[in-house]
Structure 1
Amino acid sequence: MFKQLKNIDTVARLQRLFNIVLMLVTAVVLCFGIYKSYDFADKAQNKVHILYNGKVLAAFTSDRKTNLPVELRDHIKTFHEDFFTLAPDDGQIDTSIRKALYLSDNSAKRVYDNLKEANYFNNLISGNINQQITVDSIRLDMNAYPWAFTCFATEKLIRATSTVTRRLVTTGKVSDLKTETDRNPHGFLIQAWEILENNDIPQSK
């Protein structure tokens, strides 16, 4: 009789152990299922479908922080191209400068006013000079906000008979407006902008 009771007690302990193990396994499976469902939902939110040439293509969005240096460089590059790429046409100059001023604060407006007062733009028109700029590199400091930058570019003044090449270096800071518009698609604002260097590059003979 005692032996039978002992067997029953052993079976009961095994049954409890089995139940505990089963509950632990169920909890692990449940937690894994919840984790995977959240992971799937997150990926689904970051996935968009684009119709291109009659084909549906999958594309993934990314966190802005990942692309922040790229967006900042593009904003700075666009500003400089709009400000310095000018044709000998007052309408084009006004349009291009206006586009640049939407990307910056009054520091760029002051530079524009100084150039205008010095008849810089009138001289471009009267001399039939095309001004072109190529942004060579942009140095960013991401360690402090607003983010400081230095832009290195090559500027060309193209006349009918000659071309003058200049080295252009500017500096400034960029702040985040946290609002994107058609005229400012990145939502950044260039501040404290100034031209450090704009000198002719001697032509090699």
Structure 2
Amino acid sequence: MVIKNLENKIKLVMIICALFLAGCVVISLSSIWTARSMVVDAQQKIYVLDGNVPILVQRTTMDETLDVEAKSHVEMYHHYFFTLAPDDKYIKYTLDKAMYLVDETGLAQYNTLKEKGFYNNIMGTSAVCSIFCDSINFNKEKMEFTYYGRQRIERRTSILTRELVTSGQLKRVPRTDNNPHGLLIVNWRTLLNKDIEQKTKNSY
């Protein structure tokens, strides 16, 4: 009888120990899962200081912002390539910045314009060139874009407005200080570049 009671107590202790061990495993696993979720969630949040006030911002992946970044990259390239002043150092500066954003097709167009004396003409006539973006169509699946804009060329006696349409593709590259969007324009080509308006400036 004593032996039987002892066996029952041992079984009871074993059951209690097994339940306790199972509970510890469940609690440990749930704690690990909760902690991991909290760490992942914390890593997606960034605090930016606005003066002395921290502002919570949410991190996003490049896939989520690709459309915006692609259009910004294309607009930035055209701004650097087509915004020119009668200053050889400034022209070199803007074109050097543009070449970081495009493949050899951009360099080929630059060399063509240089051979035709386009940049010398800007210097000789004191022309100021600026570009205005009308719209950018971007196909996310094919990574293709079409840029629609107007170029304004102001000389001493006239203001010429040209319609500009270009196209190309984008490919992903590592982000750098000179290429903050991590994109590179490839197969860039001009589809349309024609005069649409010319005004004679008033001379006093």
TM-score category by the smaller chain?
0.7 to 0.9
After TM superposition, the structure 1 = structure 2 runs for residues 104-143 of structure 1, keeping only pairs within 5 Å, are 104-143=102-141
TM-score using structure 1 length = 0.79
Q: For residues 153 and 65 of structure 1, what CA distance do their matches in structure 2 show?
A: 26
Q: For residues 86 and 198 of structure 2, what CA distance do their matches in structure 1 show?
A: 24
Q: Indicate yes or no: 2:198 matched with 1:200.
A: no
- The Cα RMSD (Å) is 2.4
Per-residue Cα deviation, 1:101-129 (whole angstroms, up to 9, x for no partner): 11111100000000000000100110111
Per-residue Cα deviation, 1:42-78 (whole angstroms, up to 9, x for no partner): 2211111122211122111112111011111111110
Name structure 2 gaps, 5 residues minimum.
1-21, 200-204
Q: Indicate yes or no: 2:88 matched with 1:93.
A: no
| Structure 1 residue identity aligned to 2:161 | T
Q: Indicate yes or no: 2:164 matched with 1:188.
A: no
Q: For residues 158 and 81 of structure 2, what CA distance do their matches in structure 1 show?
A: 22
Name structure 1 gaps, 5 residues minimum.
1-22
After TM superposition, the structure 1 = structure 2 runs for residues 26-175 of structure 1, keeping only pairs within 5 Å, are 37-144=35-142, 147-175=143-171
Q: For residues 82 and 183 of structure 2, what CA distance do their matches in structure 1 show?
A: 19
Q: For residues 47 and 192 of structure 1, what CA distance do their matches in structure 2 show?
A: 37
The percentage of aligned residue pairs carrying the same residue is: 34
1:9 paired residue number: none
> 1:41, CA displacement in angstroms?
2.7
Q: For residues 161 and 40 of structure 1, what CA distance do their matches in structure 2 show?
A: 66
> 1:156, CA displacement in angstroms?
0.2
> 1:136, CA displacement in angstroms?
1.2
| Structure 2 residue identity aligned to 1:175 | K
Q: For residues 51 and 194 of structure 2, what CA distance do their matches in structure 1 show?
A: 48
TM-score using structure 2 length = 0.79
